[in-house]
Structure 1
Amino acid sequence: MAGVAVAGSIAVGHPDVYSDVDLVVVVDDASFDDVMAVRLALIGSWTDLVAGFTGEHVGEPRLIIALVGPPLLHVDFKFVRASDFAERIEDPDVLWDRDGGLARSLAEHPFRAPSLDLQWIEDRFWIWVHYGATKLGRGELFEVIAFLGFLRDTVLGPMAAQRVGAPPRGVRRLESIAPEEARDLGATLCGHDVQDAGRAVLACVELYRRWLEDAGAAVERRNRAEELAVRYLHDVIGRPAERSTV
């Protein structure tokens, strides 16, 4: 091992009793494949491992998501090559650095916080709205509920965080870092009901429009796509939902 660092809420200084622990385990490049093959066994030798699995579902196969204890504690063990340690989405705190390599790597590659690409969102948003409307029209309400969560996590949550100068990371901690915006997002929630779901999708559209306007960013608006997608959404809301037979 070349070193260990901690990231997440502990590194940025606001953990609580419900926080998980995000550990970065840095491995010499030459040993990385061997270590990856025995990760669970290694973790079990370090602590009382209750259960663990790999993180392919979040796009990070280097990750082991684990419960240790009791008392139960959620710990994420991210195994990275020493040569990849500087590639990061936040600055970690180095806990152990065998030969100073981790500190040198961080110093040589200063961290730049990711910014929210509003043009990327605008290029996609109205296609997403049309997609959600098709699910609503078919009466696939669980799909619509999931779609609303996607819009909050991918679009509205990051925009809300940006409005208060916080990192755009989904809906993490919005209730505390952006309480006014979090209250506004309450309108995008719905139950398993067609009319309620339609209202919630419309609320997403209106919040996106308002927050994009407030941002004052130089975004090329997809006006034609917006017009047609919103018209389609209103048409769907105005007619009875069809039950899916697929």
Structure 2
Amino acid sequence: MLEKTPQEQFAANASAILALDDQVIGLAVGGSWLTNDLDEFSDLDLVLVTETRIAGDTDLMMAYAARLGKFLSGFTGEHVGEPRLLICLYDEPLLHVDIKFLTLEEFYNRVETPTLLLDKGKRLSAALANSVAQFPYPDFQWIEDRFWTWIHYALLKIGRGEYLEACDFLGFLRMVVLGPLLHMKNGSLPRGVRKVETTLDPTDLNLLKQTIASYDRQQLLKSLRRSVALYNQLRIALYGPAVKLQESTEQKVMSYFDFIEKRS
């Protein structure tokens, strides 16, 4: 019999503790657990469903988290757009655990179908049977309407010599545009640049890596130019005729791009 991973041990212990709480309807797990990709570097993504709402009461969220293991610290997930999430660090072993606090009504709306660890009265099973997971996909028109203004912004930063901000912008572009679109092209969920090293075709991964720049004007311009070229390839591969291309804006911005390059 295979020894349980630290994540599996933590989940089993948490299930046993929460089973005794009358407020708890059930406990589920998602993320890497669902694809059997757990390794020593994986965090644990738990969903705790309760009778009454806990999210919004940080003290109560912390109190629940502290019951589940040797709790070191935790904070809510407003920075990732999810205040119902408590991001936790536990000790012995050192383990990152995300706990999302939901009511049963909120459990119906989900981006994936989690594995149920604890399901009192089969209420979570019923919720899963009567709902469909919907992962949010990029809005192509939303991207196209913004992309060329974003490129102009990057050129302003490079032109002024604000190279660190330009470097950060390229990371933003990979996370919000290039990574998700490449994931879609390769038939995987558009989770930013997560696991691109293992999910993308090697050619696509190499194109994405070429958008990484060092702290150097010429390298930043080269990486930005490659980002534009990659975006254009992805537009052709993914966008349909319903997406209105911002051709006039693109033309003006790329002319400005040429101007900035000549000043280097």
| TM-score, normalisation: structure 2 | 0.85
Specify the code of the residue in structure 2 equivalent to 1:140: E
- Are positions 1:226 and 2:250 aligned together? yes
1:100 and 1:212, CA in 2 relative to 1: closer, same or farther beyond 3 A? same
The aligned residue for residue 10 of structure 2 is: none
TM-superposed deviation, 1:34: 8.5
TM-superposed deviation, 1:238: 2.2
Q: Is the 8 A contact 2:54 2:60 kept in 1?
A: no
Give the CA RMSD over aligned residues: 1.6
- Are positions 1:161 and 2:183 aligned together? yes
The aligned residue for residue 224 of structure 2 is: 201
Please give the alpha-carbon distance, in whole angstroms, between the structure 2 residues aligned to 1:38 and 1:169.
Answer: 30
TM-superposed deviation, 1:215: 2.4
- Are positions 1:110 and 2:152 aligned together? no
> Residues 116-135 of structure 1: matches in 2 within 5 Å?
116-135=138-157
Tell me whether 103-112 or 144-153 shows the greater mean CA deviation: 103-112
Please give the alpha-carbon distance, in whole angstroms, between the structure 1 residues aligned to 2:239 and 2:58.
Answer: 46
Q: Is the 8 A contact 1:22 1:75 kept in 2?
A: yes
Tell me whether 8-17 or 69-78 shows the greater mean CA deviation: 8-17
TM-superposed deviation, 1:136: 1.1
Deviations 1:64-107 (A, max 9, x none): 11111222111001111221011112221111111222111111
Please give the alpha-carbon distance, in whole angstroms, between the structure 2 residues aligned to 1:93 and 1:137.
Answer: 50
TM-superposed deviation, 1:216: 5.1
Deviations 1:95-134 (A, max 9, x none): 1111222111111111234333222211111111111111
The aligned residue for residue 14 of structure 1 is: 37
**Bigger RCO of structures 1 and 2 (CA < 8 A, at least 6 apart):** 1
Q: Is the 8 A contact 1:36 1:79 kept in 2?
A: no
Please give the alpha-carbon distance, in whole angstroms, between the structure 1 residues aligned to 2:140 and 2:75.
Answer: 34
The aligned residue for residue 207 of structure 2 is: 184
Deviations 1:170-191 (A, max 9, x none): 0011111103211111110111
SS in 1 for 2:155: helix
TM-superposed deviation, 1:43: 1.2
Q: Is the 8 A contact 1:5 1:25 kept in 2?
A: yes
TM-superposed deviation, 1:33: 5.9
Deviations 1:204-245 (A, max 9, x none): 0000001211225222211001111111122222224xxxxx
Please give the alpha-carbon distance, in whole angstroms, between the structure 2 residues aligned to 1:101 and 1:19.
Answer: 28
Specify the code of the residue in structure 2 equivalent to 1:192: Y
Q: Is the 8 A contact 2:110 2:135 kept in 1?
A: no
* Unmatched runs of 5 consecutive residues or more in structure 1: 241-246
1:57 and 1:226, CA in 2 relative to 1: closer, same or farther beyond 3 A? same
Specify the code of the residue in structure 1 equivalent to 2:132: P
Tell me whether 11-20 or 137-146 shows the greater mean CA deviation: 11-20
- Which one of the candidate residues 55, 58, 62 is aligned to 1:40? 62
Q: Is the 8 A contact 1:49 1:69 kept in 2?
A: yes
Please give the alpha-carbon distance, in whole angstroms, between the structure 1 residues aligned to 2:57 and 2:118.
Answer: 18
SS in 2 for 1:63: strand
1:74 and 1:34, CA in 2 relative to 1: closer, same or farther beyond 3 A? closer
SS in 1 for 2:84: strand
| TM-score, normalisation: structure 1 | 0.91
- Runs of 4+ that moved beyond 6 A: none
Q: State how many pairs are aligned.
A: 239
TM-superposed deviation, 1:203: 0.6
Specify the code of the residue in structure 2 equivalent to 1:17: E
